[in-house]
Amino acid sequence: MKAVVESAVVKVDDNGGKAADGGGGDKIGNVAAGAGAGANKESVNRIAGAIKGIVEAAKKVEGVKFEPKAAADAADADGNKKAGKLFGNAGAGATAEDVNKAAAAVGAVSGEQILNAIVTAAGQAGQAGKKADEATNAIEAAIGGAGAAAEFGDDNDKIGKKNDQIAAALVLRGVAKSGKFAGAANNAKEVKAVVESAVVKTFGEWLDGLIKAAEGGGKAADGGGGDKIGNVDAAGGGTKADATSVNGIAGAIKGIVEAAKKVEGVKFEPTDAADAADGDGNKKAGKLFGTGAGATAGDVKDAAAAVGAVSGEQILNAIVTAAGKDGKDGKAAGQAKNAIEAAIGGAGDADFGNDIKKKNDQIAAALVLRGVAKDGKFAGAADETEKVKAVVESAVVKTVGEWLDGLIKAAEGGGKAADGGSDKIGNVAAGAGAGANKESVK
């Protein structure tokens, strides 16, 4: 999952749905040369607030759990307070030791704990930026304040020993408009790596929860297909996916999406997916779901064409739509009417029938569902195995990538806050950093 999340995060940045727009296709944690610039306060506040809204809405879905353990404070007397130097807006850049303390904070907590720190900070009043030595939560630290670089404080509720708040501040400044981290020229790559690690950990674990989602969906996904996305049977015939797993995952995803849509400002309005123009559509993709002979190059090509013709939101919508219909048993490709039936599958191998052969969104959604569900394997001839896997991973990354885009930008306001500017995610200035925009973090 980690590799897919990393690819998805990169995909978000490449697609133009960037947390800091204008990144020019750059990846999370790109290093900016020269002096830093203040991070946009509006951007920081809106991103954190939107994330809080999504999490609170998701918790209302039956069976969804968000119960992170309390993060332990750093055991060292000084905690990881030197990480505060990365948030300086003037003076010298962070040293190697400062970067190591930031890495230690990120390594000491889970993604859910980082996410919880963002949610907790977003629920507090008074979300203006503060210098590192005055900050009492992740939002204040991410926005930052004027003055020379300073260590985080460790008295009066300050965050020098609070690993979750330090990691959350890295995430928020890393994705907010205009925010840059202070880093000396010789350690910019190390700062970049720490920020990337924090962002991937936070959203990676969130995605694990969203894919598994409800408790039933999580149990359904456990033990699936050798724990790899897009398993392919190199011997030829594929394997049906566990029906409980597919239905549990699709139903849980539907619940999360429906709950998120109730959050003020959140939009999920994918355009209708166009049918394949060819009279036969991409029907040969059905062979990937068979239990007989392996898929040929032509079959794989049709699957790739279906994935390439639709957006991640359209794939996600196809899953949500299928989860709301009757007929949740598996069917062979020739009889399948939606993504769930196709993902579960049936005996034999065949092209997709008239019901979905031209429905690129349903074909792509079926690839995603079988790709992450328990027991599911795709049919692939020995010389086509890697190509089949690549197509499935592409579908998952596209879906997850656009979902991540929505989670990072989240509410419409958060999206606006994150847009604009010419900054990359996780920017590092070769010297002084810059505070994140207040409203963007909050």
Q: What does the pLDDT look like over 326-374, one tens digit per residue?
A: 657 899 999 999 999 999 999 888 899 999 999 999 999 999 999 888 8
Assess contact for 40 and 440: CB atoms under 8 A: yes
Report the pLDDT value the prediction gives residue 435, as an integer from 0 to 100: 53
Rounded Cα gap, residues 289 and 368, in angstroms = 12
Q: Does residue 221 lie in a domain region?
A: no
Tell me the residue range of the domain where 285 lies.
235-379
Do 258 and 369 belong together in one domain? yes
Report the pLDDT value the prediction gives residue 339, as an integer from 0 to 100: 95
Do 294 and 328 belong together in one domain? yes
Assess contact for 148 and 132: CB atoms under 8 A: no
Do 73 and 142 belong together in one domain? yes
Longest alpha-carbon distance in the chain: 70
Report the pLDDT value the prediction gives residue 26, as an integer from 0 to 100: 41
Do 188 and 83 belong together in one domain? yes
Do 194 and 269 belong together in one domain? no
Q: pLDDT confidence of 394, banded at 50, 70, 90?
A: confident
Assess contact for 260 and 268: CB atoms under 8 A: yes
Q: Does residue 116 lie in a domain region?
A: yes
Do 44 and 154 belong together in one domain? yes
Report the pLDDT value the prediction gives residue 117, as an integer from 0 to 100: 95
Please tell me which residue, 25 or 308, carries the higher pLDDT value.
Answer: 308
Q: pTM for the full model?
A: 0.63
Please tell me which residue, 28 or 177, carries the higher pLDDT value.
Answer: 177
Average pLDDT, the chain: 76
Q: Does residue 8 lie in a domain region?
A: yes
At CA 189, angle to CA 185 and CA 194, rounded to 5? 125
How confident is the model over 262-283, as pLDDT tens digits? 665 567 788 999 999 888 999 9
Q: Does residue 406 lie in a domain region?
A: no
Do 134 and 280 belong together in one domain? no
pLDDT at 437 over 60: no
Do 32 and 174 belong together in one domain? yes
Please tell me which residue, 128 or 417, carries the higher pLDDT value.
Answer: 128
Number of domains in the chain: 2
What 3-state DSSP class applies to 239? strand
Please tell me which residue, 26 or 78, carries the higher pLDDT value.
Answer: 78
Per the listing, tokens 């191998």 go with 349
How confident is the model over 279-337, as pLDDT tens digits? 899 999 999 998 877 788 899 999 999 999 999 889 999 999 999 876 578 999 999 99
How confident is the model over 163-189, as a mean pLDDT? 85
Report the pLDDT value the prediction gives residue 325, as an integer from 0 to 100: 76
Q: Does residue 92 lie in a domain region?
A: yes
Q: Does residue 267 lie in a domain region?
A: yes
pLDDT at 250 over 60: yes
Rounded Cα gap, residues 244 and 382, in angstroms = 29
Q: What is the DSSP string of 41-64?
A: EHHHHHHHHHHHHHHHHHTTSTTB
Report the pLDDT value the prediction gives residue 348, as an integer from 0 to 100: 84
Do 166 and 295 belong together in one domain? no
Do 300 and 192 belong together in one domain? no
Report the pLDDT value the prediction gives residue 197, as an integer from 0 to 100: 85
Do 194 and 256 belong together in one domain? no
Range scoring the smallest mean pLDDT among 242-256, 319-333, 402-416? 402-416
Q: Does residue 136 lie in a domain region?
A: yes
Report the pLDDT value the prediction gives residue 174, as an integer from 0 to 100: 85
Do 148 and 252 belong together in one domain? no
- Is the four-CA dihedral 238, 281, 312, 211 of positive or negative sign? negative
Q: Does residue 416 lie in a domain region?
A: no
